Structures are given as structure tokens and as C-alpha cells.
Amino acid sequence: MKYQVRQDLESIIEILGITQEELASAIGVSRVTVSNWLSGKTSISDGNARLVYDFAFGKGIRLNKIKEQFHREDHVGKNEVLLFHGAKTKIDGDPDLSHNKRINDFGNGFYCGESLEQSAMFVATYPESSLYMLKFNGAGLKKRVFHVDRDWMLMVAYNRGILKGYEDRGILKQLIKSVEGADYIIAPIADNRMFEIIDSFIDGEITDVQCRHCLSATDLGNQYVFISQKAISRVTLLERCYLASAEKEYYLDSRQQSFKMNQDKVKLARKQYRNQGEYIEDILK
């Protein structure tokens, strides 16, 4: 799936109320070049695409947020949700279950987020990253929903490989079984910062209650994890969106600004809920 550069150029010109010549002058190309892009006579190079999208973002145009609103209005129905997927480069072909092959929160599958900002933020450090908007219809499919609680913490720890060998323990065995047969999973997103907190819980440094409150401080929203072929067949790619350099910096700055407050709450949660709840050794008896 290619970027919709021609439509984006038209949108930029319309929003700013400028001419093709004025746009060309602003990004340092000829009017004929812009005209050829708009007519489809020539394709835009990667370098010029970067100039166009950085210019638009610098002018305060949030194309991806506008597109999100239009897609919600046009595509989201009773059984449909709008989702986002950040890619380090691009998706080749249709989404598939082996797309994420590394150790993830719920193993192999295709992962999407509910938030445009969070999905873009996760790939903002990659130079060729892009953002996909998708729709999903879950009617008639079996789902397993997790929340920020002990069940979720244990499943993330298990799928990330630090509870191997405990599969036959009561609560973990029940949790693993509860996911069997599910077509997709809805669960909170856990990034590396959150996993460090979960790791402290698994290492016996904090209780499940302390861990839950610490994790609540770093809430990143929910993710959809498609784990069956039936579920992935219900995922439709709507658009591949360009992430301008300035836009990536914006998301990373926003994340950094919230990081300090989150870390402060984590420290206080460790103290306020000390000795409340259970330690991992008691849970896995």
C-alpha cells in the first residue's frame, strides 16, 4: 500500500489556501514538479515527500489526525473499530499472523493499538517508519479481554519468557487455558518501561497490588492482538500514513513530558501500597 501523496498535496493546498506555485516555492521545487505530482505524471521521491510533509506539519496541519476523524465517520460501525499499526518500514501484502515474530505480550500475532499517537510513538525513532489505519469487524469472533490487573501481569510475564516452567501452576495454567480458542485479545499495552515494573513483581520485589498501581501510572491504552486466521481476515487496511520528521519528534516529546510524572507516581505507589496484596511466590504456590 502506497502513501496517498496526491490527495495529501490537494489537502495541503486547500487547507492553506495557496497555489501550486506557492507550495512549490515553499518546499524548493518547481511549479511544474508539483503539477506533475498532482496529475500523477511523475511520482514523488522520498526526499521530496519528506519536504512536503514536514512543511505541512510545520504549518500546523495535522493530516493524520484529520484522516483519523474521517475514517471514524466513514468506516466505524456497530461491530467495527478503527485501529492503528506502527511499522518500522511498511507492511508487505496483507497483515498476517507471523508479522510480529519477536517475543511479545501475547506471542505471535498481528498487533494494533486503539490510539494513533501511541502507535506512531512506538516507531518514531525509525527513519522509514509509517503508520497504518485499519478497521476491524469482530462480529461472531471469540475474544479474551484483559485489564490492568494480576491476570494481565502474569500473562505478559509468561509470554515474554520469564515464567517458563510454571505453566502447570494453578492460576497460570487457568490463564493460559482461558486464551485458548480465542480469535483475538484486547489488553493494555506494555512497553519496556512497564515490563521493568512487571519484572520487579516477578522477582518478588513488589506485590501484585503495588505492581498494578505502578502500571496504572504508565497507561498506554489498549491493543488488539489478532491470533487466529479468522480474526486477521476481518482486518482491512484503510490507509498508509506518512510520519513527518517533525511529527515523530512531537510524539517523542509528548512521551518524555509524561515520563517524569509517571515515574513520580510509580515511586509513590511502591510506598503507599507496600505489603498490600500478594508476592509472586505466594501466587504461584
Give residue 260's pLDDT. 65
Each residue's pLDDT tens digit, 138-176: 999 999 999 989 999 999 999 888 888 888 888 899 999
145 half-sphere exposure, CB direction, 13 A CA radius:
4
Pair type for strands 143-145 and 130-137: unpaired
Q: Are 159 and 260 in contact (CB under 8 A)?
A: no
Q: Report how far residue 262's alpha carbon sits from residue 19's, in angstroms, rounded to the nearest whole number.
A: 46
Give residue 16's pLDDT. 96
Give residue 38's pLDDT. 94
What are the start and end residues of each CATH 1.10.260.40 domain in the chain?
A: 1-61
Give residue 226's pLDDT. 96
CA dist 230 to 62, 98, 267, Å?
34, 14, 43
Give residue 168's pLDDT. 85
What's the distance, CA 164 to chain centroid?
Answer: 27
CA dist 111 to 83, 169, 225, Å?
10, 28, 5
State the angle between helix axes of 46-58 and 245-272 in degrees (0 to 180), rounded to the nearest 10: 60
Give residue 102's pLDDT. 58
Give residue 229's pLDDT. 94
- Write down the CATH superfamily of domain 1-61: lambda repressor-like DNA-binding domains (1.10.260.40)
Single-letter code of the amino acid located at 161: G
Question: For 200, phi and psi rounded to 5 degrees?
Answer: -65, -35
Contacts of residue 263, Cβ cutoff 8 Å, sequence gap at least 6: none
Q: Which residues of the chain have pLDDT under 70?
A: 99-103, 257-261
221: left (phi over 0), alpha (psi -120 to 50) or beta: left
